[in-house]
């Protein structure tokens, strides 16, 4: 495979993960990590970036190093502008999830990508790049175990003060300029799992399902200093009338590893970020099992590098902007519902030692029990 020039926009926060993946591919001789840009010079001082050309302007970086591909790990409010600029410079893009805050912005991204057909524009929903995920999708659409009946998503992981202080838009409904951000468990920390559920519910490869009706929507906020919800429960139905139940929280007493339950007529699939198992109709018989043999995130970066080199890539699939659109549309619809602010002391406990908030009896408050 031809070695490509790779670059990064946004070195702070989650950008460190992008740095690690590009450096790993550089050590393997797949890429030349040719440049990194960040409007905050302090984010360019990381020791692992020593020797890599630094820039405080993405345009200056593109003009100086002429990368084949760039990954973008900047904030949600600037995704569209940064994607547009990269494509205008003839650079292929791997854009961090979520694609954008609104469906209109994602539609604008789709239009921009169509203006530059020589370059790809992908979204970093990492599980959609893994072969195991596409094997799972084949089971949901093939009819081998009957039709898809429902999907449930559960994600319960605490987040502390540091998490919500990571940038200016964390936990915000809108940014300083008034534009939507919609940062929440649904759109950020657990966005992968909603997107995966919509992908698996899609009627065929590689389509995601469209969530078109909602019921029992409960959004609550326990943390004082944020604007948006930190826990949610809702029931959605897709265009094909497949129910999807979603429970996500950052204020749980007992953390729970993210998981999906995909119910078919003759079997049930239990998915986690490490593997998935297919159970028989009796709920006990293990019919098939698959582990993620390779880190899906690394696999995603390797796929992007291969595509930029003109190779088909090692992946069974990718996440295009079009694929990611349904996730954004779903989040945007949920944000139309009111957020219930829980009274501290009455419902909410503050764990000062770790900077966490917890809500005893959360599932009952959310109308789940």
Q: What's the rounded mean pLDDT across residues 55-75?
A: 97
Q: What share of the chain has pLDDT > 70, as a percent? A: 98
The token pair at 221 is 């906020």
- 4-126: CATH topology is Rossmann fold (3.40.50)
| 277: exposed, middle or buried (Cβ count in 10 Å: 0-12, 13-18, 19+) | middle
Cβ-contact 305, 4 below 8 angstroms: yes
Question: What is the per-residue DSSP string for 248-271?
Answer: EESS-SS-EEEEEEEEESS-EEEE
Instruction: State the average pLDDT for the chain.
Output: 94
Q: Is the pLDDT of residue 315 over 80?
A: no
Q: Above 70 in pLDDT, residue 183? A: yes
Instruction: State pTM to two decimals.
Output: 0.95
| Token duo for residue 83 | 């994607």
What pLDDT score was predicted for residue 47?
94
Note the pLDDT of residue 294: 84
Answer whether residue 321 shows pLDDT above 80: yes
Examine domains 4-126 and 131-294+320-365 and report if their fold is the same. Answer: no
Is the confidence at residue 346, as pLDDT, over 80? no
CATH architecture of 131-294+320-365: 2-Layer Sandwich (3.30)
Query: Tokens at residue 26, please?
Result: 């550089």
Residue 88 has pLDDT above 80, yes or no: yes
Q: Give the separation between CA 56 and CA 61, rounded to whole angstroms.
A: 8
Domain layout of the chain by residue ranges: 4-126, 131-294+320-365
pLDDT at 314: 62
Are the C-beta atoms of residues 218 and 126 closer than 8 Å to each other?
Answer: no
Q: Which helix (H) or strand (E) holds 133?
A: helix 131-142
Closest CA to 133 of 189, 186, 185, 206: 206
The sheet that has 4-9: what strands, in order across it?
A: 54-55, 31-37, 4-9, 69-72, 92-95, 121-123
Q: How does pLDDT run across 184-228, given as a tens digit for each residue?
A: 999 999 999 999 999 999 999 888 999 999 999 999 999 988 999
Tokens representing 159 are: 């987040």
Q: What is the pLDDT of residue 359?
A: 93
Which tokens in the block code for residue 321?
A: 């902007």
How confident is residue 87, by pLDDT bands cut at 50, 70 and 90? very high
DSSP state of 337: S
Say what the pLDDT of residue 367 is.
Answer: 86
User: Does 43 have pLDDT greater than 90?
Assistant: yes
Rounded Cα distance between 89 and 221, Å, is 42
Tokens 């399902």 map to which residue? 209
105 HSE (CA, 13 A, CB side): 22
CA atoms within 13 A on the CB side of 305: 28
d(CA 248, CA 156): 6
Contact partners, residue 110, CB within 8 Å, separation at least 6: 321, 322, 325
Report d(CA 368, CA 199) in Å as an integer.
24
């Amino acid at each position: 495979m031809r070695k490509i020039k790779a670059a990064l926009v946004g070195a702070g926060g989650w950008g460190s993960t992008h740095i690690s993946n590009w450096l790993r591919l550089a050590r393997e001789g797949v890429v030349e990590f040719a440049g990194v840009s960040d409007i905050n010079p302090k984010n360019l001082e990381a020791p692992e970036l020593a020797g890599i050309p630094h820039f405080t302007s993405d345009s200056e970086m593109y003009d100086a190093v002429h990368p084949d591909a760039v990954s973008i790990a900047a904030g949600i409010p600037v995704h569209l502008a940064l994607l547009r600029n990269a494509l205008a410079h003839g650079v292929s893009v791997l854009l961090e999830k979520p694609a954008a805050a609104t469906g209109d912005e994602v539609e604008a991204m789709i239009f921009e990508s169509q203006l530059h057909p020589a370059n790809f524009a992908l979204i970093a929903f990492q599980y959609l790049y893994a072969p195991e995920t596409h094997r799972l999708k084949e089971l949901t659409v093939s009819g081998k175990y009957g039709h898809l009946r429902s999907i449930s998503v559960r994600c319960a992981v605490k987040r502390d003060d540091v998490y919500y202080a990571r940038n200016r838009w964390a936990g915000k409904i809108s940014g300083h300029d008034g534009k939507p951000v919609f940062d929440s468990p649904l759109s950020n920390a657990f966005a992968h799992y909603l997107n995966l559920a919509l992908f698996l519910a899609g009627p065929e490869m590689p389509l995601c399902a469209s969530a078109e009706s909602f019921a029992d929507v409960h959004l609550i906020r326990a943390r004082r200093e944020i604007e948006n919800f930190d826990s949610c429960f809702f029931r959605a139905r897709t265009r094909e009338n497949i129910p999807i139940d979603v429970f996500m929280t950052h204020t749980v007493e007992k953390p729970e590893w993210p998981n999906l339950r995909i119910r078919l007529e003759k079997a049930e699939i239990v998915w986690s970020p490490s593997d998935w198992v297919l159970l028989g109709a009796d709920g006990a018989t293990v019919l098939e099992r698959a582990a993620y043999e390779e880190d899906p995130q690394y696999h995603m970066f390797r796929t992007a590098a291969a595509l930029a080199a003109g190779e088909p890539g090692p992946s069974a699939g990718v996440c295009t902007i079009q694929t990611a659109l349904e996730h954004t549309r779903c989040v945007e619809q949920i944000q139309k519902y009111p957020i219930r602010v829980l009274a501290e002391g009455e419902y909410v406990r503050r764990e000062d030692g770790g900077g966490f908030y917890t809500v005893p009896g959360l599932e009952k408050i959310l109308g789940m029990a």
